[in-house]
């Protein structure tokens, strides 16, 4: 290894280290912000460590003041239900549209994918009229969330299901396996990385959604994003507790990615290699 190669490698390592610090800085800032009081924040200590570590901000946000525990549970219910529906219907639809042969197959597939072009919030008025009877239930969010995320789920799965050889299903058919058994016991396990990728995408869309959640929910079924927004008062706001609530809202996303990052990498490799 010559001297030029060593210098180049050192420069790349320094650049990557600086990039890592830049990516970690927002998390550091949010954590330090959540442990300060409002006076300290407005006195100019925005970046530095807290002068007094107020872990009570988390207790206040969790139950006594912010009701974040209830809002978090509502968000978990809506997100898990949406992920289950989109994953199940998305897989079944992708299998039926791409592995079966029937009249109008390509036209229906194109029609479903056109749903990606329609923003969820563009249908706010018709959704408001349709979902009016369900306003006080979780279904008011679960149904539109699932409906608008099924097309993108099908699109993600379609890129992977086409790489599965038909010989797998032909062998299963010869062994006496029916279509449902073939789909769920042979094709579905092979599609797990793609399903995880689609689930992460849908999770980010649903977990962080605000507009529909603020319109379609009441106090008992309000989601985390709406709950955090309402922590800001007209005359006074506890910014430390709000920062703690933001940390609580961010943790599930980080945990999900850390747990599922391996499957995402597998899906990228599977999508890049054909044959």
pLDDT bin (cut points 50, 70, 90) of residue 170 is confident
pLDDT bin (cut points 50, 70, 90) of residue 8 is confident
pLDDT bin (cut points 50, 70, 90) of residue 220 is confident
pLDDT digits (tens, 9 = 90+) for 143-167: 999 999 999 999 988 888 888 888 8
Strand partners, 237: 232
pLDDT bin (cut points 50, 70, 90) of residue 41 is confident
Average pLDDT over residues 202-229: 87
pLDDT bin (cut points 50, 70, 90) of residue 274 is very low
The per-residue pLDDT for 44 is 73
The per-residue pLDDT for 275 is 43
Average pLDDT over residues 16-37: 89
The per-residue pLDDT for 65 is 55
Average pLDDT over residues 215-243: 80
CA–CA distance, 221 with 74 (Å, rounded to integer): 6
Average pLDDT over residues 224-244: 78
pTM of the model: 0.82
The per-residue pLDDT for 254 is 85
Percentage of residues in the chain with pLDDT exceeding 90?
18
pLDDT digits (tens, 9 = 90+) for 91-127: 999 988 888 888 888 888 888 888 888 888 888 888 8
Average pLDDT over residues 158-185: 84
The per-residue pLDDT for 144 is 92
The per-residue pLDDT for 248 is 87
The per-residue pLDDT for 266 is 63
Q: What is the chain's mean pLDDT, rounded? A: 84
Average pLDDT over residues 75-101: 91
Q: Which range has the worst mean pLDDT, 74-83, 171-180, 230-239?
A: 230-239
pLDDT at 273 over 50: no
pLDDT bin (cut points 50, 70, 90) of residue 64 is low
The per-residue pLDDT for 76 is 93
Which class does domain 64-272 fall in?
mainly alpha
Sign of CA dihedral 84, 151, 73, 36: positive
Q: Which range has the worst mean pLDDT, 5-14, 16-25, 128-137, 262-271?
A: 262-271
């Amino acid at each position: 290894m010559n001297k030029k190669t060593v210098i180049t490698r050192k420069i790349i390592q320094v650049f990557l280290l600086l990039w890592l610090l830049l990516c970690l800085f927002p998390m550091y800032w949010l954590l330090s912000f959540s442990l300060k009081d409002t006076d300290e924040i407005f006195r100019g200590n925005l970046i530095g460590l807290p002068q007094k570590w107020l872990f009570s901000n988390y207790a206040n946000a969790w139950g006594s003041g912010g009701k974040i525990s209830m809002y978090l549970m509502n968000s978990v219910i809506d997100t898990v239900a949406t992920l289950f529906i989109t994953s199940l219907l998305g897989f079944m639809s992708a299998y039926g549209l791409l592995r079966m042969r029937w009249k109008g197959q390509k036209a229906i597939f194109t029609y479903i994918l056109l749903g990606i072009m329609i923003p969820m919030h563009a249908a706010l008025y018709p959704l408001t009229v349709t979902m009016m009877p369900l306003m006080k239930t979780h279904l008011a969010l679960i149904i539109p969330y699932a409906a608008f995320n099924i097309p993108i789920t099908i699109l993600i799965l379609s890129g992977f299901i086409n790489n599965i050889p038909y010989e797998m299903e032909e062998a299963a058919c010869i062994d006496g396996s029916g279509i449902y058994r073939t789909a769920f016991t042979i094709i579905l396990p092979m599609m797990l990385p793609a399903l995880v990728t689609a689930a992460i995408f849908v999770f980010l869309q649903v977990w962080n959604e605000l507009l529909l959640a603020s319109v379609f929910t009441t106090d008992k079924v309000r989601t985390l994003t709406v709950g955090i927004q309402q922590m800001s008062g007209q005359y006074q706001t506890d910014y430390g507790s709000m920062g703690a609530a933001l940390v609580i809202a961010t943790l599930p996303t980080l945990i999900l990615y850390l747990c599922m990052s391996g499957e995402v990498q597998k899906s990228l490799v599977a999508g890049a290699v054909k044959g």
